[in-house]
Every structure is written in structure tokens, then in C-alpha cells.
Structure 1
Amino acid sequence: MTESRSDLDSPWKDILRAYFPPAIAFFFPQTAALIDWSKPYEFLDKEFQAVSQDAAVGRRYADQLVKVWLKGGTELWLLLHLEVQSQSETEFEERMFIYSLRIFDQFRQVPISLAILCDESLSWRPSCYEANYPDTSLNFKFGTVKLLDWRDRMDELESSDNPFATVVMAHLKVIETKRDVDRRKNWKFRLTRGLYEKGYERQEILDLYRFIDWILVLPEAVEREFWQELQVFEEERKVTYVTNAERFGIEKGLKQGIEQGAVQEARSLILRLLSRRVGILPSEVRSQVESLSIDRLESLGEALLDFSDLSDLERWLQLHA
């Protein structure tokens, strides 16, 4: 199966930012237990950009630097790294060390460095960066989790109340169903249905569904079969959180416009739809929308159908702009 949306960093970044405490609790419970989650956490985007912008480490969309507070009242920085495609051990471990070193050098903070490994290699398990000489040694260790380690624990994942159990299942099914369209469609429906059965609120269902939908790509004909099945399911439950008759037309129109280079027309369409959906846009909000990248503009086209007022748009922009 050809993956038309191969960039998995972007949806991972979105879901990590939207559900950061559950992510840390799911992947790194010992670290999560140290943190006082009653205090606000802060994504340090400018600080991370300062340490990564001239580092020869490639494109890193999903890396996150986050300030949290320990239960004793001490400030702590978490460096969370996502790896979708495995790199050579030296490159990856060196990159983790470089980031940590630069953060300490510029801000005098030693971050807790954590890595989520989403690759397909069972044997690749980086965990430290070392250098040893007769009179000097270095042993930099960082926390890692391997998503493949959950592949035989699907029952446990399906019964978990943590939203990141669904995220892990979706990612594993991307790997498992590369050559089986029907099985992928069935799992996409099963995971989406599970969002309702677990009793998530409407916004949680939409957030998690967007992740599922982004990475479990289906051919157009099979996607329509999936939507028909989901529509029947939602009608039986008397909810229409995900299915919407307008959605396919808007998404298809945006995609065609962007592919044909009509970016300004696509942006104008988004602005018109937003005005109809949430009312007149304040100039500051309008400017934010106009400055969105092509990828973000397409994501907004998918999301806006779920907006009910201006606050929904403002929340989306805070998370994605």
C-alpha cells in the first residue's frame, strides 16, 4: 500500500502537545510520578529552537522541550524526542547528547532526556552515548521506549483508559497492515469505535480520531466504505462527532487546489468557511490563519468542521500555529 501521508512527525507532535501529561504517564511512568501536574507545564519552543537550529541533526518536527515542576517545587525540563525512522546508533545517541549538552550550556538546565522509538527494527535500541579514555570517561544515558514492545499486548492496550494506548495501537497497525487494505480498514474502524466505547468527550474523540485518520491511510474507495460504516455506527449511537457530509468535499477541494498551486484560493476558502462557522474573525486571528503553512492550512480545513465558536479556532491555533 502506498502511504500518501508518510510524514508521521506532524501528527505525533500535535497529539503529544494536546495530551502531554497522559503521554508521559503512559511512556515514562517513573518520570511522571516525579512531576506536580497541578502546576502548569510550558512548551519551550524558542529555547529548543536556540539549541537545535544550527545543529547538524536533520529535520526534527516532533522534538519537544517542556518545563514542568517537581512535587518538591523545583523546576525541571523534559526533552522528549520522537524517532519514526531508525538512524545509525552513533547518529541518534550523539544527537541526544548534543541536545542535552547545548541545553545545559545555554540555560544551565540538565534536562531529563526521553526518546520514543517508533521504528520497525526490533534490535535497534539506543540508550546511551559513551566515550572512554584512561583518564576521562563519559556515560550519558537517556530513557527510551520502543513501540514494537507493545505489539503482543493489544488486549492490554484496548482496555487502557490512557489515550496514548490508542495512539500506540494506531501506530502499530500502520506497520502491521502495510499490505492489507481490508485489515487496515477494519482496525481503523475498531480504533475509532473504541473512542466512543471508552466514554471520551467529544473533543477527545476528535483529537484522537485525527491522529488515527492521518496515519492509517486508506485508498479513496476503501476510505468511503469506512465512512459509510462509521456513519451507521454514529447514527446508532445518536452522535455525529466524526462523520460529516461536508468533510469529503472540503478536503478534496483543498487538496486539489493546493496540488494545482492555487494556494491563495485555498486560503480564501478556509477564511470564508471559518467566517461562516465561527463568525467575523478578529484581525489578529485572520493574520494567524493567513500565515499558516500549506500543511497546517490543510489540517485546519479538516478541523474547522468541528468548530462551534471562535474559541475553538483560537485553541486550534494555539496548538498548531
Structure 2
Amino acid sequence: MDSPDDYDSPWKEAVESYFPEFIAFYFPEASRQIDWARGHVFLDQELRAVVQDAELGKRFVDKLAKVALRDGSERWVYVHLEVQGSAQAEFAERMFVYHYRLFDRYRQPVASLALLADTTTSWRPSQFGYQALGCSIELNFPTAKLLDYAAQQDQLYQNPNPFALVTLAHLLTQATRQDMNARFAAKWKLVQLLYQRDWDKQQVIDLFSVLDWMMRLPEQLKRSLWHNIEVLEEQEKMRYVTSVEQIGIEKGLLQGMQQGIAQGMQQGMQRGLMKGRAEGEAYALRRLLQKRFGLLSEDVLARLQAASIDELELWLDRALDADSLAGVFAQ
């Protein structure tokens, strides 16, 4: 069995790296009003400060960005984005609470947008408000629903926007939870699609990371996929994904061979491979922890450096859902 599907890190990475493409794909009307040439600024620390005591449920991503408009004015608009992974009765209220707190802080227009990544077809929150004694207030916010794209898979395969591929990965991950062979076939098709686009090397690597994290495979099928990718990259003369994957392995191989000469070449290579794998796991975990909890202390970095592969894998699984660093490293 593969580990439970959780998309926290890849969704964040994708949104941060390709924010204009994200808005253009899921919220095209909003995108047309934004002057992307003037850039955008993420304000994640500011968002944490505003909503730290208003946490109402688990979500894949919450982002705050400052963007300029195309209306000729000099004003900036604050875009509050939520990617919500499960149906929750409190979600619309949370959007309302975040919205008025952000407006209270900045005294500038706030646009609240929600991408719904849950599996409940009928759950479509888009409004929150109330009335009392003649006073009324209401927030209406645009939403996009990933399930709505399930009937558009052919169009998604043709769409050059990176989030067409991310949407496909999400839908196919959900559809293949009980069939790993079907997931392997779907993932391999998406990987081939990466190399058919006119994307540069970094885009291919970024989007492969999203696919690889979402569409987890058992070890045997994972090895088969890597073999296919190696053959594909040889044919296309594109050392993209495999070149990155090999960095940790080759470094470990070299060190292992140097340390293991006296004990035999085979033993040294094996140790090198294990060390390379551990370094790769530690690097991935460090990036994930920094994304979720900010800068890491020297003690935490030292602990990652000294950890075994089993410990690193355990901490990686915990890091997806833990509320704090203490929760990741709990005994």
C-alpha cells in the first residue's frame, strides 16, 4: 500500500512558482484584471500574523499575495487564496474571517479566492453573511472546483497551462487510489506530456516534482517508471529529471566507494547508495519543514544530518500534517 495521498508541499510549490498561471487557469476573469507585468509579492508571514488564532480546519494551501490592477490606478489588491482539500461546514466562515481581518490590517481591497479540491460534488461554498436588527453583511467569493474538470480530461491534456497538468494529476490520483497499475500508466502518460511541451528544464523538474509527490507508487512500479524516464530522456536528449535524481545518488556512490575500498568495491557502492538516499531524504525534509515552519535551528539541522533513513521517512510522513516541529519529531 502507498502512503495516504497528501498534496500540501507540491501544491504550495506549484502555486508559488507559477502564480500567474494558477490564477489564469482557475480564475481567468480575475487574471484579466491583474497587471502581471508589475509583478506580485507573497505575504505569507503577514497572513500568519493576521489569522493565527482563526485556524478553522485543514487546507492544502493558503496564500496572500499583493498584485496590481490593469485599470490604470496605482492601487494594489490583496489576493487571499485557499486551496481546500475537504468539505467543511466552517469553510465559508473562515473565508469571511480572513477577509475582514486582512481588510482591517491593510485598508485596501481584498479578493478572496477558493479552489476546492475535495471529493464531495455538492459542496460548493461561495458566500457567508448574516443579518441582525436591520444590519446585513455578506461576502461572495469566486470558487473553482477540481471535480468539475473530470469531464474535460481531453482538453486538459491539450492545454499548455502547467495547472492543466496539475489538475490531471490530482484527478488521476483520486481515480487510481485502489489500482496502482492504473496509476502507473496515468503517471507515465503525464511524464511523457512534460517532455512534449515547450517548457524549460526547470519547469519540467518543478512539475515532475508535483506529479511524483501526488501520484505515489509502490517501490517496484517506481523503479519501472524511472527506467522509462531514463529511456525517454536518452531518446529526447534531455537530461532533466534523471540528472537531478542522480545528484544525491552519485554523491553517495563516490563517498561510499572511497570509504569502502578496503572492504571491497561492492560493499562500498552499497553504502554509497544508502548514504545518497539518506542525503536526498534529508534535503527533501529540510525544504518541506522550512516551507511549513520557517527557518530551522542548528539543532534541527544537525538532527536531520545524523538521522537514519527510517527516521527521515517517518518524519517526512509526519511533516505533511503536523501542526508544529515538535509534532514532527515526537517520540
Smaller-chain TM-score range? 0.7 to 0.9
Return closer, same or farther for 1:216/1:204 CA change in 2, 3 Å cut-off.
same
State the number of aligned residues.
272
Task: Look up the equivalent residue of 2:182 and give its one-letter code.
Answer: R
Specify the alignment match of 1:178 in structure 2. 177
Give the match's secondary structure for 1:65: strand
Specify the alignment match of 2:158 in structure 1. 159
1:78 is the counterpart of 2:65: no
CA offset digits 1:180-218 (Å, max 9, x no partner): 111101111111110111121111100100000000000
Task: Look up the equivalent residue of 2:127 and give its one-letter code.
Answer: C
CA offset digits 1:255-295 (Å, max 9, x no partner): 76899xxxxxx57xx9xxxxxxxxxxxxxx9989x76996x
Specify the alignment match of 1:310 in structure 2. none
Give the match's secondary structure for 2:81: strand
CA offset digits 1:218-246 (Å, max 9, x no partner): 00111101111121111111122112473
Specify the alignment match of 1:21 in structure 2. 20
Task: Look up the equivalent residue of 1:183 and give its one-letter code.
Answer: A
Q: Distance in 2 between matches of 1:56 and 1:16?
A: 21
Return closer, same or farther for 1:17/1:292 CA change in 2, 3 Å cut-off.
farther
CA offset digits 1:290-317 (Å, max 9, x no partner): 76996xx99xx9xxxxxxxxxxxxxxxx
Ranges in structure 1 where 5+ consecutive residues have no aligned partner: 260-265, 271-284, 302-321
2:102–2:110 contact (8 Å) kept in structure 1: yes
Which stretch of structure 1 is more off in the superposition, 65-74 or 216-225? 65-74
Return closer, same or farther for 1:189/1:31 CA change in 2, 3 Å cut-off.
same
Q: Distance in 1 between matches of 2:12 and 2:302?
A: 16
Specify the alignment match of 2:148 in structure 1. 149
Written as runs of structure 1 = structure 2, the 5 A alignment for 1:1-321 is 1-4=1-4, 6-59=5-58, 62-71=61-70, 72=72, 73-88=74-89, 91-133=90-132, 135-244=134-243, 246=246, 249=249, 253=275, 266=282
Q: Distance in 2 between matches of 1:258 and 1:189?
A: 23
CA drift of 1:130 comes to 2.2
TM-score (normalised: structure 2): 0.74
Which stretch of structure 1 is more off in the superposition, 241-250 or 53-62? 241-250
CA offset digits 1:56-75 (Å, max 9, x no partner): 32455620000000012321
CA drift of 1:139 comes to 1.8
Which stretch of structure 1 is more off in the superposition, 203-212 or 137-146? 137-146
Q: Distance in 1 between matches of 2:277 and 2:131?
A: 53
Q: Distance in 2 between matches of 1:207 and 1:293?
A: 27
Specify the alignment match of 1:279 in structure 2. none
Specify the alignment match of 1:308 in structure 2. none
Return closer, same or farther for 1:74/1:164 CA change in 2, 3 Å cut-off.
same
Task: Look up the equivalent residue of 1:234 and give its one-letter code.
Answer: E
Q: Distance in 2 between matches of 1:255 and 1:85?
A: 33
Give the match's secondary structure for 1:212: helix
CA drift of 1:126 comes to 0.5
1:234–1:240 contact (8 Å) kept in structure 2: yes
Return closer, same or farther for 1:254/1:237 CA change in 2, 3 Å cut-off.
closer
Return closer, same or farther for 1:95/1:69 CA change in 2, 3 Å cut-off.
same
Task: Look up the equivalent residue of 2:88 and give its one-letter code.
Answer: Q
Specify the alignment match of 2:269 in structure 1. none
Task: Look up the equivalent residue of 1:74 and give its one-letter code.
Answer: R
Q: Distance in 2 between matches of 1:47 and 1:56?
A: 15
CA drift of 1:51 comes to 1.0
1:100–1:110 contact (8 Å) kept in structure 2: no
Identical positions, percent: 38
CA offset digits 1:61-91 (Å, max 9, x no partner): 6200000000123211100101012212xx0
CA drift of 1:138 comes to 2.0
CA offset digits 1:155-178 (Å, max 9, x no partner): 111111111100100011111110
Return closer, same or farther for 1:239/1:255 CA change in 2, 3 Å cut-off.
closer
Task: Look up the equivalent residue of 1:86 and give its one-letter code.
Answer: A
Q: Distance in 1 between matches of 2:230 and 2:38?
A: 40
Ranges in structure 2 where 5+ consecutive residues have no aligned partner: 253-272, 287-294, 313-331
Give the match's secondary structure for 1:80: strand
1:148–1:172 contact (8 Å) kept in structure 2: yes
Task: Look up the equivalent residue of 1:31 and give its one-letter code.
Answer: A
Q: Distance in 2 between matches of 1:229 and 1:65?
A: 39
1:16–1:23 contact (8 Å) kept in structure 2: yes
